Amino acid sequence: MISVIWEEDPRYLTSVRLTMICSGATRATRHGAFPLDEPLEPRSVAMAESMRQGLRRADRTWTSPALRARQTAGALALPATVQPLLADHDHGDWAGRTFADVQAEEGDALAVWLADPNAAPHGGEPLSGLLLRAATFMNELVQLPGHTIAVTHAAMIRAAMLHVLGAPWQSYRKIDIEPLSMVDFRSDGGRWTLRAGSHRTGAGARV
């Protein structure tokens, strides 16, 4: 699990900071299905509420338009503004279906999707579109001083990490982001760095 290093270190006190928080789990994500725009599980709401006191003040808080992201922000007591660039990866007709079901019923289409970042056999957004959207978000935010908290999704967080690391698109599916986990980015206004650690999220965590 990738999350924030909580101790303050002067080497990392730069002018721009972004903390991405992954939205909580839903029924679809808990069962290994492609994400669906649906409410959080009650357990995820309770877990997010337990994290409230560990959150540091931010200059601004944004959230994905998805219901589960907005509910996560609410459970965290974050007065968030919707930012469309933080939307989850749109899987079109596959939303709500498990990987196994899609593989069994549309195996050829799934194989094309896995091999080509520009393919969108599900009718949604290709991976290349998500990566471009994440790059656009990061490039715009790097010019905005202060601390931003962004409540978004595992897909968007992975895409942002690839942008910062300059990693190839093939690395996208090799990164695991757990619900309600956090990833911290810092910048001096010129380039981003990823600040990663192994601290467990939950009550008492500081971000």
| pLDDT by 10s per residue, the chain, length 207 | 323 333 344 444 458 999 999 999 999 988 889 999 999 999 999 999 999 988 878 999 999 999 999 999 999 999 999 999 999 999 999 999 999 999 999 999 999 999 999 999 999 999 999 999 999 999 999 989 999 999 999 999 999 999 999 999 999 999 999 999 999 999 998 899 998 653 444 433 344
Cβ pair 97, 161 in contact under 8 A: no
Provide the pLDDT for residue 196: 67
Domains in the chain: boundaries: 10-90+125-195
Provide the pLDDT for residue 201: 43
CATH 1.10.150.20 fits 10-90+125-195, yes or no: no
φ and ψ at residue 89, rounded to 5 degrees: -65, 125
Dig out the tokens for 185 from the structure. 């980015």
Provide the pLDDT for residue 204: 36
DSSP-derived letter for residue 141 is H
Helix axes 127-141, 154-165, angle to 10 degrees: 70
Neighbours of 35 (CB within 10 A): 21
Residue 154 zone, left/alpha/beta (φ > 0; ψ -120 to 50; rest): alpha
Distance CA 126, CA 117 (A): 6
Block residue for tokens 């190839």 = 168
With a CB cutoff of 8 Å and minimum separation 6, the contacts of 187 are 14, 15, 16, 17, 18, 142, 193
Block residue for tokens 């270190």 = 9
Residue 77 zone, left/alpha/beta (φ > 0; ψ -120 to 50; rest): left
Sheet holding 81-82, edge to edge: 81-82, 60-63, 146-152, 16-22, 182-187, 192-195
CA separation, residue 195 to residues 16, 33, 147, 151, 186 (Å): 13, 29, 14, 17, 7
Provide the pLDDT for residue 63: 98
